[in-house]
Structure 1
Amino acid sequence: PDSALDDCVGADVAGLLEHPLAAVRVAALDAYLMHVTPHTPDHGALPVALPAGSSLEKSKARARAVVELLDLRAGGTVLVVGVVNSLLEALRSRGIGYVPCDLKGGVTEWSEPVVADALAAAGGCDALLVSGMTLGNGTFEPLREHALRHGKQLVMFAQTGSAVLPRFLGHGVSAVCAEPYPFFWLDGGPGVVHRYRSSGGVDRHGTSGVVRQHGSSGGAR
């Protein structure tokens, strides 16, 4: 509501972290963490350049950057929470099955049914690929707990909470593709996304995947 915007103008972070609306708390925490731990290699971020081009071309490039974070062979199945057709296409091209999930329901570009209950569908999947928007609607924490309990990969693709979710690495989240504002689709020029991994290894772009931890996940609301 408009009143929430009025609450934010001129407010300090400490006050906004106690705001009754979860979306405001997430936004405040994201802004604070972007300030103190920006998406740089010093903080574990590995930049991946997106080429200039149409929104569709850039979306496909971003999808490849996201899907490469999944350590899953062909024949596996991924729960995709937050349906993005370019992500589904990237999974299809690798022979990876998926269960599309979105609160809106509906069907995918390939007329596949979209389920609305992510947690109910998670049990039949080998890994989870989840939108950062789950931070604001209360569905992230059950999925994080499911991944921890069952030892599954949880890869986040995040515009919402792009600076928050890397703090959960090693606490249920295995990798993050962070996309802070301005987003790739706002113009036709080149862009960048930032990838994080929870453990050592070599990124497919040739950079070490070691992530520095900056405290536990307990401070995120």
Structure 2
Amino acid sequence: MTTTSHPPALCFDALLDQALRGELGPDPSARRISVAFTTSQAVRHDGRRGGYRNEVLSLRLGRAVGSCAVEPGALPAGAVEDCAGADVAGLLAHPLLPVRVAALDAYLTDVTPHAPHHGAQPVTVPAGSSLERSQARATAVVDLLEVPPGGTVLVVGVVNSLLYELRSRGLTVVPCDLKGGTTDWGEPIGTDALQEIERCDAVLASGMTLGNGTFDALRGSALRHRKPLVMFAQTGSAVLPRFLGAGVSAVCAEPYPFFWLDGGPGTIHRYRAGDGGHGTVHRGRPDDGGTS
């Protein structure tokens, strides 16, 4: 049975409720998180206008790790310690959304690991520098888009390597991020993705939309406007494939450990609402790294 054979989830909270009721796998109250940790990253590449920081909450459940990116410093003191040793059901009902997302991601990764028999198409990201590996990942992500030549793509969650890859294919980019600011090309970054969807041919969005609570509105809007929505996901890599066919057309899932943690080869997993291939992504042009 593949992931795409499951009825698509109606919304994140509905999927969470299904997990809590034991409808997606073993009783979550009988499973405990053994390890909780955060990964904090600061990046400043030569030749770039500036740097950035990332922070990710990760929870270990057996062999599985679930993750949710957060704004650096946003997790309250004691949040990580509270997760270690806690039962999954309690964390699925936790007051902090990033904890709920990471817990659901860990649970679903354990229940349906990223594997071909669950609908995943493995893609190798070759060894290399952080810039080389970032561009290789960007190639794998952008390959999931079905956009006409010269089309326009709304990018929600700005990652420079993705912007570079889209531009290299002659596509117009509409960047959007809650932080605002400007791109490395000096373009303004919008803060309201829902206002931009109608004028774009497709949407490419970060899994971080799960952790900040904007995913359901974005997915619903893409569905209403009949725009393909492709997710690139370090956050919720096992959660987002559950929305294939319900507003999500494809997912590039990248469970922990992420490409920016290591210089060796790694595997990401692509899911499509339809059929797709698999293989190795060759190194492309260097550009920024980034999280989901």
Same fold (TM > 0.5): yes
Unaligned runs of 5+ in 2: 1-75, 281-292
Q: Which amino acid aligns with 1:54?
A: S
Partner residue in 2 for 1:210: none
Give, in whole Å, the separation in 2 of the partners of 1:187 and 1:25. 27
Partner residue in 1 for 2:216: 141
Partner residue in 1 for 2:260: 185
Whichever structure has more strand as a proportion of its residues is: 2
| Residue 4 (structure 1) shift | 2.1
The answer (yes or no) to whether the contact 1:129–1:154 under 8 Å persists in 2 is yes
Give, in whole Å, the separation in 1 of the partners of 2:194 and 2:276. 31
Task: Give the 5 Å matches for 1:13-162.
Answer: 13-162=88-237
Q: Which amino acid aligns with 2:98?
A: A
| Residue 205 (structure 1) shift | 4.2
**Any idea what SS the aligned residue of 2:268 has?**
strand
| Residue 185 (structure 1) shift | 1.0
| Residue 204 (structure 1) shift | 6.4
The answer (yes or no) to whether the contact 1:162–1:180 under 8 Å persists in 2 is yes
Give, in whole Å, the separation in 2 of the partners of 1:165 and 1:180. 12
Give, in whole Å, the separation in 1 of the partners of 2:83 and 2:125. 32
Give, in whole Å, the separation in 1 of the partners of 2:276 and 2:111. 26
Give, in whole Å, the separation in 2 of the partners of 1:94 and 1:155. 17
Partner residue in 2 for 1:203: 277
TM-score of the superposed pair, with normalisation by structure 1? 0.90
TM-score of the superposed pair, with normalisation by structure 2? 0.68
**Any idea what SS the aligned residue of 1:167 has?**
helix
Q: Which amino acid aligns with 1:101?
A: C
The answer (yes or no) to whether the contact 1:81–1:131 under 8 Å persists in 2 is yes
Partner residue in 2 for 1:171: 246
The answer (yes or no) to whether the contact 1:47–1:192 under 8 Å persists in 2 is yes
Structure 1 residues 202 and 176: CA distance shift in structure 2, 3 A: closer
Identity of aligned residues (%): 72
The answer (yes or no) to whether the contact 2:156–2:206 under 8 Å persists in 1 is yes
Give, in whole Å, the separation in 2 of the partners of 1:204 and 1:108. 31
Give, in whole Å, the separation in 2 of the partners of 1:10 and 1:61. 37
Unaligned runs of 5+ in 1: 207-221
- Structure 1 runs of 4+ aligned residues shifted over 4 Å read none
Per-residue deviation, residues 84-141 of structure 1 (Å, max 9, x unmatched): 1110111111111110011111111111111111111222211110000000111111
The answer (yes or no) to whether the contact 1:68–1:204 under 8 Å persists in 2 is no
Give, in whole Å, the separation in 1 of the partners of 2:142 and 2:278. 11
Per-residue deviation, residues 21-68 of structure 1 (Å, max 9, x unmatched): 111100100000010101100110001101111000001100000000
User: How many corresponding residue pairs?
Assistant: 205
Question: Is 114-123 or 168-177 further displaced after alignment?
Answer: 114-123
Give, in whole Å, the separation in 1 of the partners of 2:136 and 2:186. 23
Could you say which structure has the larger radius of gyration? 2
RMSD between aligned alpha carbons? 1.3
Whichever structure has more helix as a proportion of its residues is: 1
Question: Is 69-78 or 3-12 further displaced after alignment?
Answer: 3-12
Matched, 1:9 2:47: no
Structure 1 residues 151 and 204: CA distance shift in structure 2, 3 A: farther
**Any idea what SS the aligned residue of 2:211 has?**
helix
Give, in whole Å, the separation in 2 of the partners of 1:42 and 1:203. 14
Q: Which amino acid aligns with 1:114?
A: I
Give, in whole Å, the separation in 1 of the partners of 2:84 and 2:264. 31
Give, in whole Å, the separation in 2 of the partners of 1:192 and 1:158. 13
**Any idea what SS the aligned residue of 1:123 has?**
helix
| Residue 3 (structure 1) shift | 2.9
